[in-house]
Amino acid sequence: MLRAGAEVLKVHATGGVLSPTDHPEFTQSSQAELEVIVQEGKFRRGIKVMAHAQGSEGIKNAVRAGIHSIEHGIYLDDECLELMVKNGTFLVPTLLAPVAVTEIPNMPEWGIKKAYEVIEIHRDSIARAHKAGVKIAMGTDAGVMPHGTNLRELGLMLDCGFTPMEALIATTKTAAECMGWQDRVGTLETGKYADVVITRTNPVENIRSLENRDNISFVMKGGQVVKDIRKQ
């Protein structure tokens, strides 16, 4: 992967909801194995290593190994949270992913069953992570759900105790920091890319209004306008 030019490495530290022969709590990689991957990626090449990690044992293996961010974090226990705060590990909750599994036609029955099993556990874990001060960046596992529906994640974050502004910061500033792009994106500042979104509604008053794409009235990417329906 590094020889092919990968800018980020993602490993599977545990099983998953849509893994056909295992469970999210199953541990896939030992701490020693993960340490080798971090050594090759982070320390030899300067490449961030992120981990799909849903079960608590696998999460702890990943954090202790120096993994940069935990994707999903469904079964977070108190020790996981303590380790993540101590190590400055990012958490990308992807709350929408298991919800979407229950909604999309033709999902396998075993996947739907596991999704229903974890939704409330996942919500509770992210709520406790938020309260504990874990660095949380918004992400959705887009591709599990239809592209363009990812802002549903923001409302789910509110269900975990986030304020609307905290959810917006997680989506912009903290997400940029997680990717190591804070010098380019994440906030509106001189010298950064001109990435600007204008909405018809006030997301601080009604963040779920952003689930309607028609409320995203203007999008500028790198100074180029790619959407403008303000006069419609």
In tens digits, the chain (232 residues) has pLDDT values of 999 999 999 999 999 999 999 999 999 999 999 999 999 998 888 999 999 999 999 999 999 999 999 999 999 999 999 999 999 999 999 999 999 999 999 999 999 999 999 999 999 999 999 999 999 999 989 888 888 899 999 999 999 999 999 999 999 999 999 999 999 999 999 999 999 999 999 999 999 999 999 999 999 999 999 999 998 7
- Looking at residue 143, its pLDDT comes to 84
CA 107 – CA 119 distance, rounded (Å)? 16
Active-site entry in 48, 60, 114, 141? 141
Q: Which helix (H) or strand (E) holds 63?
A: helix 56-65
Please confirm, yes or no, whether 228 is among the known catalytic residues.
Answer: no
Active-site entry in 10, 42, 173, 227? 10
**Residue of 180, 186, 92 lying closest to 141 (CA atoms):** 92
Give me the architecture of the 8-187 domain, per CATH.
Alpha-Beta Barrel (3.20)
Q: What is the largest CA-CA distance in the chain?
A: 57
Please confirm, yes or no, whether 22 is among the known catalytic residues.
Answer: no
Give me the architecture of the 193-232 domain, per CATH.
Roll (2.30)
- Looking at residue 152, its pLDDT comes to 96
Amino acid 164 reads P
Domain residue limits, the chain: 8-187, 193-232
Residue-wise burial string across 8-30, b where 16 or more C-beta atoms lie within 10 A, e elsewhere:
ebebbbbbbbbbeeebbeebbbe
**Residue of 147, 145, 129 lying closest to 137 (CA atoms):** 129
